[in-house]
């Protein structure tokens, strides 16, 4: 019972934080709220029995993502979001409400939260739960599936991260210092 109470409270906090992020225009505050948002979701993962996911979300989602965004803010030196002049909020709002209503309609058929007889619990999951310990000798089923049964998936993930790392280096690595010197020179010319 206490689980459900914590679950409801944390989800409500998540919703409030998300709305606050959309309404704010100070980018620094938005990024800090995003860190809070990630930590709240990590707490929620613990309540929903996903300890490994919670670790990863707290370290990678809340930690690295927030640091990357702060670094971008430091490099772009733009701390304030400008509201566009011809801003029409009703069109995106209508799109979002219609999409959301369609999705909510879709949830009516979903089995209730925590149902042990729901389809996701009946397909391949019982095999992993029963066989992963005797077959791989790893007590943590998530690790067994990640590194053993779905090892090629993880290899593909590593390839994706490597590609993204190379792309980031190609985009902003190397000639960065020269570029910013030129920028500063231009700025001085403008002032003069």
Partner 1 sequence: MDFILGHYNYWIVIFLMMVGFYTVISRGNLVKKIVGLNIFQVSVFLLYISLSTVDGGTTPIVKEGFDLYSNPLPHVLILTAIVVGVATTALGLALVVRIKEAYGTIEEDEIHEQDHSL
Query: What residues from 67 to 126 belong to the interface with partner 1 (CB under 8 A)?
Result: 68-69, 71-73, 75-76, 78, 81-82, 84-86, 89, 92-93, 95-97, 99-100, 103-104, 107-108, 110-116, 118, 120-121, 124-125
| Stretch 22-51 residues interacting with partner 1 (CB under 8 A) | 22, 27, 30-31, 34, 37-38, 41, 44-45, 48-51
Q: Does 155 contact partner 1 by CB under 8 A?
A: no
- Residue 170 in tokens: 């190609």
State which of residues 6, 131, 135, 153 lies at the interface with partner 1 (CB under 8 A).
153
**How many amino acids of this chain bind partner 1 (CB under 8 A)?**
94
**Gap between the Cα atoms of 145 and 153, Å rounded:** 10
Residue closest to 80 by CA, chosen among 24, 18, 22, 32: 24
CB of 88 to partner 1, least distance (A): 9
Closest to partner 1 by CB, 114 vs 185, is: 114
Q: Does 21 contact partner 1 by CB under 8 A?
A: yes
DSSP codes, 84-132: PTT---HHHHHHHHHHHHHHHHHHTTSPPTT-TTSGGGTSSHHHHHHHH
Residue closest to 30 by CA, chosen among 79, 87, 93: 79
| Stretch 125-144 residues interacting with partner 1 (CB under 8 A) | 125, 128-129, 132-133, 139-142, 144
Closest to partner 1 by CB, 113 vs 192, is: 113
| Bridge partner residues of 48 (DSSP) | none
CB 46 within 8 A of CB 40: no
- Supply the Cα-derived Rg of the chain in whole angstroms: 23
Closest to partner 1 by CB, 51 vs 185, is: 51
């Amino acid at each position: 019972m206490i689980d459900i109470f914590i679950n409801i409270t944390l989800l409500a906090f998540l919703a409030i934080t998300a709305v606050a992020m959309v309404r704010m225009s100070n980018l620094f505050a938005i990024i800090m709220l995003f860190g809070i948002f990630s930590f709240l979701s990590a707490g929620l993962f613990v309540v929903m029995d996903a300890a490994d996911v919670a670790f990863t979300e707290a370290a990678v989602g809340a930690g690295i993502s927030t640091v990357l965004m702060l670094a971008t803010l430091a490099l772009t030196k733009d701390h304030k979001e400008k509201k566009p002049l011809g801003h029409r909020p009703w069109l995106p709002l209508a799109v979002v409400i219609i999409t959301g209503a369609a999705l909510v309609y879709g949830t009516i058929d979903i089995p209730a939260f925590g149902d042990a007889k729901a389809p996701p619990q009946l397909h391949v999951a019982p095999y992993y739960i029963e066989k992963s310990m005797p077959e791989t000798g790893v007590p943590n089923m998530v690790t067994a599936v990640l590194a053993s049964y779905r090892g090629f998936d993880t290899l593909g993930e590593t390839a994706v991260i490597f590609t993204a790392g190379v792309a980031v280096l190609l985009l902003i690595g190397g000639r960065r210092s020269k570029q910013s010197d030129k920028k500063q020179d231009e700025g001085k010319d403008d002032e003069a």
